[in-house]
Chain A
């Protein structure tokens, strides 16, 4: 299982129910495929940075899910077909999270080492002076 973020833009003329319908469809694809939904966020209506299909505004929705590639493939296919959705993007986030954890660990370890006053201290203080 991997973590993904799916963000899509719904047609600004769509009603609240239509948006909920799209959300429901995406949700059902994910859950039926064995994935898990972690968060659904309606980011509201925003101005688009450029026109998409002659729309100047769009309703942004963000899904944070954990799923596998097949589910994502199916989601993207369905989003492409849906008329109400004018644009979507899928971003994989688990690599990023892992990298962050690693970095945080490294920092903590370094802070701990500095606190204990080991022999490596002088080089580290020089390092800090550089920053």
Chain B
């Protein structure tokens, strides 16, 4: 993608995309606990939906763990199901 940047005709808008990295892989976090509401809340934006991978950059393995943890946390009212 970076090499294609030079070939683009003049005037066209260039765009850079920083490579997203999985937060959990970088920090070597193996397990995601449902009790850690502070961590999980980083991945539930305002509407309390689970943030998609394409936005957060979390790898598939950790996204799956994250999903489970968020759903458990919702069950015990640590995270909301939905907000107004």
A interface, CB within 8 angstroms of B = 7, 9, 46, 48-50, 52, 58, 60, 62, 87-89, 91, 96, 99-100, 103-104, 131
Minimum CB distance partner of B65 in chain A: A96
Inter-subunit contact B30/A91 (CB<8 Å): no
Inter-subunit contact B25/A131 (CB<8 Å): yes
Inter-subunit contact B31/A87 (CB<8 Å): no
Partner of A49, one of B31, B34, B78: B78
Q: How far is the CA of A131 from the CA of B22 in the complex (A)?
A: 10
Inter-subunit contact B80/A87 (CB<8 Å): no
User: Does B79 sit within 8 A of A, measured CB to CB?
Assistant: yes
| Least distance between A84 CB and chain B CB atoms (Å) | 16
Q: Tell me the dominant secondary structure on chain B's binding face.
A: loop
Q: Tell me the dominant secondary structure on chain A's binding face.
A: strand
Inter-subunit contact A7/B80 (CB<8 Å): no
**Which residues of B, 16-65, contact A by the 8 Å Cβ criterion?**
25, 30-31, 34-35
Q: How far is the CA of A7 from the CA of B78 in the complex (A)?
A: 11
Partner of B31, one of A50, A52, A62, A96: A96
B56-84 near A? 1/0 per residue, CB < 8 Å = 00000000000000001011111111000
Partner of B76, one of A87, A96, A104: A87
Q: How far is the CA of A96 from the CA of B72 in the complex (A)?
A: 14
| Least distance between B67 CB and chain A CB atoms (Å) | 15
Inter-subunit contact A49/B30 (CB<8 Å): no
| Least distance between A69 CB and chain B CB atoms (Å) | 19
Inter-subunit contact A89/B25 (CB<8 Å): no
Provide a sorted-by-A list of 18 A–B residue pairs whose CB atoms are within 8 angstroms.
A7-B35, A9-B76, A49-B74, A49-B77, A49-B81, A50-B77, A50-B80, A50-B81, A52-B77, A58-B77, A60-B76, A62-B35, A87-B75, A87-B77, A89-B72, A89-B75, A99-B30, A103-B30
Inter-subunit contact B77/A48 (CB<8 Å): yes
Chain A residues with CB under 8 A of B76: 7, 9, 60, 87-89
